[in-house]
Amino acid sequence: MAALAEGSGLDARAAVRAVLEQRAGEPGALLPILHDIQDGLGHIPADLVPEIAEALNLSRAEVHGVVTYYHHFRAEPAARHVIQICRAEACQSMGAEALLAHAQLRLGCGAHGTSKDGTITLEPVYCLGLCASSPAMMLDDEPHARVTPRTFDALVAQARSES
């Protein structure tokens, strides 16, 4: 879908309609539809939630509730790089809260925010599956374990140099 939306010049509405036409008849279609839209556009456009709801015979509140409940979905596009810091119990016990505070300070944004320079979006998540190697974070799609503030700073510097 990403290639469809970007490569052919289709706007977000056309891309969402294409996904709805393909999947709306499937049982339990809401999550697969939202994943397809998120993967293709990088976010779920809030102004298209009513169209998604109508296609599935759901209320706008039901669709909005699912979009806001799951951390994977976002209403606005993310920056070029996305950092996810685990806040599950194992990571918390090994300093994840201090790491998140450090990240917010270094990036100049809060959780679910974007850095002042617009290059990095910071997201708290619950469990990256690296519990034995806490605290953990994900930079784009690459996991990192036993992350310290120094490691975090080095990873951010490397990501910014690649932008």
Question: Which one of 13, 38, 69 terminates a domain?
Answer: 69
Are 131 and 158 found together in one domain? yes
Number of domains, the chain:
2
pLDDT at 94: 96
Beta bridge partners of 86: 125
pLDDT at 77: 87
Q: How far apart are CA 100 and CA 110, in angstroms?
A: 9
pLDDT at 140: 92
Look up residue 91 and give its two tokens.
């990571």
Q: How far apart are CA 102 and CA 97, in angstroms?
A: 9
pLDDT at 10: 58
Residue 118 lies in a domain: yes
pLDDT at 75: 84
Residue 74 lies in a domain: no
Expressed as residue numbers, the domain containing 15 is 2-69
Residue 76 lies in a domain: no
Residue by residue, pLDDT tens for the chain (163 residues) are 443 444 334 588 999 999 999 998 899 999 999 999 998 898 999 999 999 999 999 999 999 999 988 878 888 888 999 999 999 999 999 999 999 999 999 999 999 899 999 999 999 998 999 999 999 999 998 999 999 999 999 999 999 998 7
CATH number, residue 136:
3.40.30.10
Residue 49 lies in a domain: yes
pLDDT at 7: 38
- What is the end-to-end Cα distance of the chain in Å, rounded? 24
Predicted model pTM: 0.74
Closest CA relative to residue 119, chosen from 73, 160, 77: 160
